[in-house]
Amino acid sequence: MAAVEAVAAPPPDPGELLEAVEALLLGGPPELTRAQVAERAGVELATATSLWHLLGFPESADDEPVFTEADVTALRQAAQLIDAGILDEQSQNALVRTWGRSFARLAEWQVRLLAGIAVDAEDPGRRLEELALDVVPVVEELQAYIWRRHQLAATTRLLMRPAADAERLAVGFVDIVGYTSRSKTMEDGELVDLVEHFEDVATSATTDHGGRIVKTIGDEVLFVADDPAAAAELALDLVGRSEADEAFPQVRAGVAYGAVVERLGDVFGPTVNIASRLTSVARPGSVLVDQGMHEVLEGEAYQLHRTRRVSVKGYRHLEPWRLRARDR
């Protein structure tokens, strides 16, 4: 009896699949040029083009129909914020640029996640389209919910923070010890697992201690807290995690307290720089703090040991203090 060979289904046409997803995400096929979008939204073409670039989207030819009515609505809404005086030119550029960067990273991760799930299906193209149809509306609603919750949290911090401490924060960095050398000997999957576990634990611990993650930078986490004692507890918690959790890497931390400039969810200024420098000279499994942290923590339930002065970039005579809990 002759063997019957299974005939694999032809791979999906990328062009057709893209058209289907494009219509789903944008509400219809692209039919408008950038000049038509600007005209319908009542916005100068130069302004529309500038906003498009700041969002991180590639420039299109004048006669290329890559826009839909959704783009008209978005441009009109941006113009309303500008006309209302909520966004001046400087903050407009900064905010739009931040939107573009943040959502670009999120979208990249989400699409790769969906594509990874679709690969195992008999018809990956069809499965990806189905996932987009089912998942995108749910994700969109969840993102709006999360944004509103964070808006409330930010408003609470702003209104409840004492006026005297309005510009003072505890800033901390925690980084993985020996990350560069370890990454050279690890498989890609192992490296991803290491970083994701580090970020998961750091995020959870930061929330538990009343702080907030500003950003993650590969093998490093930057956090802030209104309360210096909370920042101290968080740093001590994380440097001690590897003793109880074999999957959590050994880390070190540096924390500083003082004036901080907050802008678009990021933090700047000498206090941030000092925290970073302290982390770079901290020994594995230790926490170093600056003079500002020493002043507010002295007399509390901590041991603070002065270490030798160090010379680091921007600071020739940095005076660190090693932080420990009294019972450690």
pLDDT given for residue 326 in this prediction? 74
Q: Residue 7 above 80 pLDDT?
A: no
Residue in this structure with the two tokens 């498009």, named with its chain if needed: 52
Lowest-confidence region among 115-124, 236-245, 249-258: 115-124
180: amino acid identity, one letter: T
Q: By the 8 A CB rule, do 71 and 55 touch?
A: no
Q: Give the Cα-Cα-Cα angle 295, 282, 210 (nearest 5 degrees).
A: 55
Residue 23: how many CB atoms within 10 A of its CB?
13
pLDDT at 263: 83
Strand positions, DSSP E, the chain:
168-176, 212-217, 220-225, 251-259, 261-263, 266-268, 287-289, 302-306, 310-312, 315-318, 321-325
pLDDT tens-digit profile of 53-93?
878 887 888 888 889 999 999 888 888 877 777 666 667 77
Integer CA distances (angstroms), 257 to 134, 171, 324, in order: 46, 6, 17
Tell me the CA distances in angstroms from 61 to 33, 38, 44, 205, one per residue in order. 8, 14, 17, 49
**pLDDT tens, position by position, 127-139:** 877 887 788 888 8
Confidence of residue 4 (pLDDT cuts 50, 70, 90): very low
Task: Name residue, tokens 């800033």.
Answer: 171
pLDDT of residue 8: 53
Q: Higher-confidence residue: 26 or 255?
A: 255
Distance CA 16, CA 9 (A): 16
pLDDT in the model for residue 264: 78
What average pLDDT is seen over the chain?
Answer: 85
Q: Residue 282: helix, strand or coil by DSSP?
A: coil
Query: What does the pLDDT look like over 95-113, one tens digit per residue?
Result: 788 888 888 888 888 888 8
Closest among 319, 263, 248 to 289, alpha carbons compared: 319
pLDDT at 6: 45
